[in-house]
Structure 1
Amino acid sequence: MSDSSFEVPDPPPALVPVPAARAIDLHSSRVVTGAPGCGWQFDLRADDPVTRDGMLVVPVISEEDYYRAIDGDGDAYASLVPAGDVWVQRPEPGTGAPRPGYLIERLSDPDAPPVRRPYPASDVPNLIGRRVWHWTDGVFRDDFRCVSEPFETDGDFCVRVVEERAWYRWRRSGQIPKAQDAFIHHLWTQ
């Protein structure tokens, strides 16, 4: 582990949904799809919008298919979703991470895609499989998944993480990824 176990960075930014029609360069962006009165889907990737039958649509695939395509392990077939039903998740600097609070503090508008606020991994149970922001080499990376619950090693509390691409390859092929121990106070859930 290259980062000091004593260094506690400020939290990463919240992921704010921006309408796809207002975003530039959607290629490989994480997106949310859904509609008021229905609900919301996360863990999706998009490509640049196209026009079909006079309608602006966004090609959308699951993250699992996205990483399968990146690895060259088969074709990924996108769903064409109306652009008005797609929002791009954009980090909004300075939004920080509040502590998980009472229900009243978590209420949101069910007819709009929610803001995804990061929470310290130390405050969140059941970490295995969760995507996390990882503070490493002085910057946040948002492409890691937890593969363990917290544990103690040499007086530090850690969680094992793997790069998200390797996580999906493991799910798809059974190829076990190389895990790394991350200080728990360097991880925030998404």
Structure 2
Amino acid sequence: MGLSDNASSSAFDVPAPPPALVPVRASRAFDLHSSRVVAGAAGCGWQFDLRADDPITRDGMLLVPLISEADYYRAVDGDGDAYASLVAADDVFVQRPEPGTGSPRPGYLIERLSDPDTPPVRRPYPASDVPGLIGRRVWYWTDGAFRDDFRCVSEAFEVDGDFCVRVVEERAWYRWQRTGTVPKAQDAYIQHLWTQ
């Protein structure tokens, strides 16, 4: 724990927001292995926190194997097999970062309306504008770059006049859920965090 002394992560650095995550139909994407995806269908709704593997063809239909994020990290840790659901490629969308699409502040409801029959663009919002941070996946500006594999494990708090949030790597977050092994947390300046 504790704040990094790394100059590239000082409290005075306030980078531009990370990119929005734009849904791209899986049938038009390359190399789906381990990609974060959205699954669903028009008239129903959308599921997030899924991972994909490369598509397969069965009976002339293109299918994408999907597993939950929790099962993905369990498999990455070598803690058992993950069993995938096969979903029609037309119902799977890869979340691709689109540079230059950083988000505005969360607006009024009328500004946030979307088409329920298409997966939404996931815009990053400054963590300072978002209540209920515990458990949220965040973009974290560290060592001069964004990482998108962190989860918040605290709400905002103050350290020596700076506002911070405690974060852990997502892999450790899921291991903590699965095994009870407490992860190594670090304090991040709130202005270096954007929710996903």
Which TM class, normalised by the smaller chain length? over 0.9
Structure 1 stretches (4+) deviating beyond 6 angstroms?
Answer: none
Q: C-alpha distance in 2, partners of 1:72/1:148? A: 28
Aligned residue runs from structure 1 range 88-103, under 5 A = 88-103=94-109
Shift of 1:97: 1.2
**Letter matched to residue 156 of structure 2:** P
Q: Give the aligned partner of residue 162 of structure 1.
A: 168
Q: C-alpha distance in 2, partners of 1:13/1:96? A: 5
1:21-71 Cα distance to aligned partner (Å, 9 max, x none): 000000000000000000000000000000011110000000000000000
1:116 equivalent to 2:126? Answer no
1:46 to 40, 44, 52: 52
Q: Give the aligned partner of residue 79 of structure 1.
A: 85
Q: Give the aligned partner of residue 32 of structure 2.
A: 26
Instruction: Give 3-state SS (helix, strand or coil) of 2:63's partner.
Output: strand
1:140-166 Cα distance to aligned partner (Å, 9 max, x none): 000000000000001100000000000
Q: C-alpha distance in 1, partners of 2:180/2:150? A: 18
Report the count of equivalent residues: 190
CA RMSD of aligned residues (A): 0.4
Shift of 1:186: 0.1
Q: Give the aligned partner of residue 182 of structure 2.
A: 176
Q: Give the aligned partner of residue 4 of structure 1.
A: 10
**Letter matched to residue 35 of structure 1:** A
Instruction: Give 3-state SS (helix, strand or coil) of 1:51's partner.
Output: strand
Shift of 1:89: 0.1
Q: C-alpha distance in 2, partners of 1:54/1:97? A: 40
Q: C-alpha distance in 2, partners of 1:111/1:95? A: 22
**Letter matched to residue 162 of structure 2:** D
Q: C-alpha distance in 2, partners of 1:119/1:96? A: 8
**Letter matched to residue 192 of structure 2:** H
Identity of aligned residues (%): 83
Shift of 1:131: 0.1
Gaps of 5+ in 1: none
Gaps of 5+ in 2: none
